[in-house]
Each structure stands twice: as C-alpha cells, then as structure tokens.
Structure 1
Amino acid sequence: MSRTALPLAVGDIAAFARVLRARIMENETAPSHLELLNWLARAAGYKNFQHFRATAAPKAVPAPAPRAPAPEPMDENRLKRLVRLYDADGRLARWPSKRGMQLTCLWTMWAVLPPRRDFDEPTVTGLLGAAHGFGDPVLLRRELCDMGLLWRTPDCRVYRRIERRPPPEALELLHRVRGGRTGSRPGDASVAGGAS
C-alpha cells in the first residue's frame, strides 16, 4: 500500500526548532514514531499529527461533470398526438392514458398557474378547471404536486407553482397549444413564468 506524501511547511524554522528541541529535552527516552510525528506537528502549529494530516492531505480532485446528453430530436408524431388532446381554445380535452403523455400535458396545466403567488385550494382548482374539459381538476392538482411542479402546505391551505424550466417537448407543446390561441411563445413570462 503506497502512502500519501504529506509535505510539512513551517513559517519560521527557528521557532520550529526551539519547540522541537524543548520537547526532546523534556523527554528522557527516545520518542516513539507516533510521539515524534505529534511533536513535529505541534511544533508546526497543529494540535497533533491527526490534525496536521487532515489539513495537509491532498484533496480529491472532483471528476469533471458529465456532459449533458445531446437533446434527442422531437418526435413529431408524438407531438401531433399530444396536440390532438387539446381543443381549439387550448384546453386539455381529455386525460391521456399513457404516463409519458400525462407528464408532458401537466406542463400546460402548470403554465396556467401564475408564478410567484400563493393560492388557496379553491383558486387552484378553479384555474385548473378552466384549463381542461374532462372535469377532474383535483386529479390535475394532485398530479402537479406529485410531479413537483406545485407546492402545498401540509394542511393544503396554501399552494404555489414551483418555478422550473419545462423540457423541450413540453415547451413545444405549449407553443403549439397556446401559440395559435394567444400568440405567446414558450419563452414568454406568461407561459414559462420566467423560469430558468
């Protein structure tokens, strides 16, 4: 097993020598290896050798952060299927059966909640109710909370939208569903809430 080199640097070698000499003179026998290490560390200004080793050991160099994978091209057929779930007014007409499509559609529900505001439960239910046509705002509210897009207090009295940047597919869906109706773009504060 190889040992890690622990270089010792002292600010003043004369003071270091004085402290070390005093330690040697007050000891009647030759110090053990560990005693000598502790003396050297104390003479250099550390509490003991363990303290010196903890501060002098080279720190592990963190591995470089992995590169983000290149974004996959959007599946145009999937986007068309998602858009067909919405009516002409941009309301979610039906809840998709596939979980992946549900998660993407939840971003459009998230976008109808104004950013940086607290709401009570009836207000959130009303906002979500106006954004869909299948009559289950409670499902949408619960799914938004479970997905981490909507925060609520334990007693469910206060709700707040959590600011996040929608994934590219959700941004494109927002653009297609809302862009034709309101002319807003995915980067607009009204859609993305200024999230980054």
Structure 2
Amino acid sequence: MTALITDDGIVTRWPAKVADRALVLDFLAAKFEPDRDYAEREVNDILKRHHSFGDRALLRCELFESGRFLRNPLTAIYRRVEDQ
C-alpha cells in the first residue's frame, strides 16, 4: 500500500498528514464488520494485530472521532458505521 502500511497489513506509524490518516483509518475500519457490537477489549485485540507502534487508544479514539465508529459511553461498546 504505502510506507505506512506493510505488505502484511501492519500500520507502522501514525501519520502527520490528514490524508494519510484517513487512509490508515479506512484500512483499520475495514477490519471490523459493520453493524456488529464490539467490546473495547475486542477492538483493542483487532487493532493490536494490525499496527506496530503500540497505541491502540489513539487508534480507537481516532476511529470514533472520525465518525467511522460509534461508541456507547455507558457500556464502552463500539460499532463500525456502515460505509457511506
């Protein structure tokens, strides 16, 4: 893909450019089924398998803040938003 994502599908770093961030977030969001609930632990496990820089919290937050995920603040359940 790019230098940000290895041929094995591992995100190597959090990019500085907004366009590159969108690419990484789209790549990671695609690892989750739409309209399925995920506990925070499940989200962490999936993100851990697909990045190497060790910041699952950043990625979880960015997926939510970018509108790619919904999060229930009472239960910490995440859900990928359907592609638009």
TM-score higher than 0.5 here? yes
Q: Which residue of 2 aligns with 1:128?
A: 47
Among 102, 110, 121, the residue aligned to 2:21: 102
Tell me the number of residue pairs that the alignment of Structure 1 and Structure 2 aligns: 84
Structure 1 position 156, deviation (Å): 4.8
Distance 1:164 1:156 in 2: 24
Q: TM-score, normalised by structure 2?
A: 0.89
| Cα contact 1:85–1:94 (8 A) shared by 2 | yes
Q: How many angstroms apart in 2 are the aligned matches of 1:147 and 1:137?
A: 15
5+ long unaligned stretches in structure 1: 1-81, 166-196
Contact 1:106–1:144 (Cα < 8 Å) also in 2: yes
Contact 1:121 1:156 in 2 (8 A): no
Instruction: Give runs of ≥4 in structure 1 deviating > 6 Å.
Output: none
Query: How many percent identity over aligned positions?
Result: 37
Kindly provide the CA deviation profile for residues 56-105 of structure 1, in whole angstroms up to 9, marking residues without a partner as x.
Answer: xxxxxxxxxxxxxxxxxxxxxxxxxx611112311111111112211221
Tell me, yes or no, if structure 1 residue 158 matches structure 2 residue 84: no
In the alignment, structure 2 segments of 5+ residues that lack a partner are none
Q: Over residues 174-196 of structure 1, what are the superposed CA-to-partner deviations in whole Å (9 max), with x where a residue is unaligned? A: xxxxxxxxxxxxxxxxxxxxxxx
More helix by share: 1
Contact 1:93/1:133, CA 8 A, preserved across alignment: yes
Higher relative strand content: 2
Task: Give a deviation string over 1:24-59, Cα, whole Å, max 9, x none.
Answer: xxxxxxxxxxxxxxxxxxxxxxxxxxxxxxxxxxxx
Shift of residue 155 of structure 1? 2.3
